[in-house]
Amino acid sequence: MKKTLVTVLVVLVLVLALGIAGFLGYNWYRDNHVFVEGDAYPIDTYSLDLREEDISFAYYDSLHAQLPKCDILWNVPFQGGKQSCDVQQLSITALTEEDIAVMESYFLNLQSVDASDCHNYAVLEKLVERMPQVEVNYAVSLGEQTYAPGITDIVLSNGEYDFVTMLENLTYLRNLTAVKLRMPELTDEQMEQLKAKYEHITFTSTVEVCGLEYDVETTEQLDLSGMTGEDAVLAAEQIKKLPNLTYVNLNPEKGIGALSLEDVKKLMEAVPHVKFDFTFDFYGHKLSTADEEVHIKNTKIGNEGEQNVRNALDLLKNCKRFVLENCQISNETMAKLRDDYRDRTKVVWRVSYGKGSTMTDAEVIRAVYDLVDDNCHNLIYCEDAKFMDIGHNEWLDGCEFVSGMKSLEYVIISGAPIKSLEPFRNCKNLKMLEAAFCEYITDVTPLAECTNLQMLNISNTHVTDLSPLDNLPLTHLTVRNNPSGKCRLAQEEQDRVIAQHPDCWISFSGAQPYGVGWRYGEDEVTPLDHYKVVRIVFRLAQDPNIPNHVGWYLKDNEREEVDKLEEAMDAALAALKQPAAEETVPEETLPEETTSETTAVEENNDQ
């Protein structure tokens, strides 16, 4: 019994000892290990290689938190796979901000990232910003070509980019300042979109013309002397893309080029501001786009050549005067050509009238005697004539041609049986009209439209109402009858006219309608200024060799004399229009002076 009790006690002691030992061993183990999801790791461990284990971020984070000094190697879950945490280089094809967070936290030895196939450029830029110690290698795609993000200027050819990709991705080339597009196939609108979105980038481009490449922004001159007609259509479109182009040479070194007038016309229409140097044959005459005046004489062109003339005129943009003299083209056709090109080129031709002829831009026309209704019509084309003397034509009943002579300033029709002044309505510049002895004229109403008319002689006409002249700036008016010397105007009308034109030299009586008050001053010798003009322009001093039935241009000395005389007349007219100074004359003396002035006018009329 005693032996049994001892045995029991021994057993109890052993159990107790084992329990105490187990308790002490457990506490030691717990205090010297860390535990993660049931796994224990010695607390004094300095390195662990867990790359054979499949652990999570939470597992690693817990272990790392408990063993902060331990170098733990493990496979980091990354983009659907596993990467050793001590990796120094990564290759990626896509990137998210979550990926960047993983790389920052778990790839502490990372030195470079190969992102050459990654197009998440905005996220890549964040990776570069957040991990500056890591070399991130990627390129921005503009289509077929890619470029390093730090590039400053690039040159692109067709096929190396597409517009949509370039418009979107240029944003990620932050240092880019210049883009050159070689012969781009972009529209003007697309180019404007690029420039508007990327104002900090200078876009330049080139264009191909006849197989050669030219800078769009800097090209000012082109030598296209070797161009053929086949090239012209495409070249016309291409040169539109050269905004600073000023000159194009189309002349080969020798001879005349292969281009037709139509070809060159297309080119010139494409860039109307550009000067073209082109020489071409025109009915045996060598013409150049540089010509400022062309004069072709006695060459058969005919009406059938009208389109050829137009083609030539379309090219001769610098031509100020284009003359076709005796080229068998009708007056009507020439007049249409003149109208169509008058804004740029004066078209001139020769017309016959009376017993002679004149160029249509002649300044002076003289046809005294022998001008009749059947041979005067062509004068209607002489729209530049300023001075015309067709007096003493006893068989000239009408002057309808005057309606086309809108530049007329000084006109003599005296002695012609002209019945109507209606054509003069168009002569807004008319200053002087001598219509003495035109006995069939009864109405001066059309002259009311001649708002510059200053000198008028209608002696020996049947005009009885001068009211249409009331608003004209008349300075000299002669209305006499010969041989009686009496005026057909009623005294009441004479008095009204004098009152209406108080500053006008008016002559109602006298035997000589061409004398004092019209051509000469009171001394009957000194010509009045407007008659001096008449003598100069019609070269009356050359009598008896005065040019007749011909048109001509004023010589430089003649023009100078006329200009001086007209300046004097204009100054005198302006002085008459000035209102009298209010303080210079006492009010009570005005009636007396007015009476004296009227008397002076009447005395002049008696001479």
Q: Residue count of the chain, please give it.
A: 607
The gap from C-alpha 157 to its chain's centroid, in whole angstroms, comes to 31
Burial class (CB in 10 A: 0-12, 13-18, 19+), 421: buried
Strand segments (E) across 253-409: 275-277, 279-282, 285-288, 293-297, 321-325, 346-353, 356-359, 364-366, 387-389
Query: What is d(CA 32, CA 26) in angstroms, rounded to the nearest whole number?
Result: 10
User: Is 606 within 8 Å of 509 (Cβ atoms)?
Assistant: yes
Instruction: Identify the residue whose tokens are 């609108």.
Output: 189
For residue range 519-573, list pLDDT tens digits in order: 999 888 999 999 999 999 999 988 788 999 999 999 999 999 999 999 999 988 8
Q: Which two tokens stand for residue 199?
A: 């104002």
User: Is 140 within 8 Å of 179 (Cβ atoms)?
Assistant: no
Query: What is d(CA 213, CA 242) in angstroms, rounded to the nearest whole number?
Result: 12
Among residues 474, 481, 459, 575, the alpha carbon closest in space to that of 530 is found at 474
What integer pLDDT is reported at residue 579 of this predicted model?
64
> Where along the chain do the CATH 3.80.10.10 domains lie?
383-607
What integer pLDDT is reported at residue 255 of this predicted model?
66
SS3 (DSSP) at 364: strand
Residues 6+ apart with CB under 8 A from 600: none
- Is beta strand 202-209 parallel, antiparallel or unpaired with respect to 178-182? parallel
Cα pseudo-dihedral 532, 536, 540, 543, rounded to 10: 130
pLDDT < 70: residue spans in the chain: 1-2, 19, 21-27, 29, 255-257, 482-486, 579-607
What integer pLDDT is reported at residue 454 of this predicted model?
96
Query: What is d(CA 22, CA 592) in angstroms, rounded to the nearest whole number?
Result: 155
The DSSP annotation for 407-420 comes to T--EEE-TT-----
* Class level of CATH domain 383-607: alpha beta
Query: What is d(CA 301, CA 326) in angstroms, rounded to the nearest whole number?
Result: 9
Give a three-class secondary structure readout of 246-261: CEEECCCCCCCCCCCH
Distances (CA, A) of 369 to 138, 359, 364: 98, 20, 16
Question: Which residues partner with 209 through β-bridges?
Answer: 212
Among residues 215, 212, 206, the alpha carbon closest in space to that of 183 is found at 206
